[in-house]
Chain A
């Protein structure tokens, strides 16, 4: 497997708190994607960070990438109830087919 964790992780926080989700990968990648999946829907890209970037921000989201430790993180600042979703990280398969390899994801629940 490309990823360290095989099963869905779960996090539960209160509204207004900050949260960080982590992923570690085993083989070289040129890009890490973070996707969000709402219940009953397909995943949607929320932030993409390339291997030449250490940090990427989008609104309340912040992604980091450490190629030396082959790990990435996604942080949400001041989480809101609508942030409740499953968050996946994914890397490119480096096979020239624009394939992605998805991790098992983190179920984030933000409580009011």
Chain B
């Protein structure tokens, strides 16, 4: 079964500190995505990638960097964490081909609190 895992599941960071969120998928999918979800709102796309060593900006990339060192791994980096980045972050993967090409498989999420 398709699997996307995230680490850590929860993190408390200090304002101005560096935060790295990690995502690992065993789906053999080309596409990976990072979303943030704020309380009471839907998911918004931060960065995505369709191939290793390449990342693309999503709708809200400011304050975030992404890294895709391999097909399986996709990281989200907050170089200088700010209070406004407190949210739940979800990673997802997508095959990009075939009849299921639109379905995104989500990880369990990382709850980030910036103090």
Chain A residues at the B interface, C-beta cutoff of 8 Å? 3, 6-8, 31, 33, 40-45, 48, 88, 92, 97-105
Q: Are B108 and A97 in contact (CB under 8 A)?
A: no
Complex Cα gap A104–B43 (Å): 7
In terms of DSSP, what is the predominant structure of the interface of chain A?
Answer: loop
A-B Cβ contacts below 8 A, count:
61
The size class of the interface chain B forms with chain A is 20 to 34
A-B contact pairs, 27 of them (CB 8 A): A7-B40, A8-B40, A33-B103, A40-B108, A41-B108, A42-B90, A42-B106, A42-B107, A42-B109, A43-B90, A43-B106, A48-B103, A88-B43, A97-B31, A97-B48, A97-B56, A98-B96, A99-B33, A99-B45, A100-B104, A101-B45, A102-B35, A102-B42, A102-B43, A103-B42, A104-B40, A104-B41
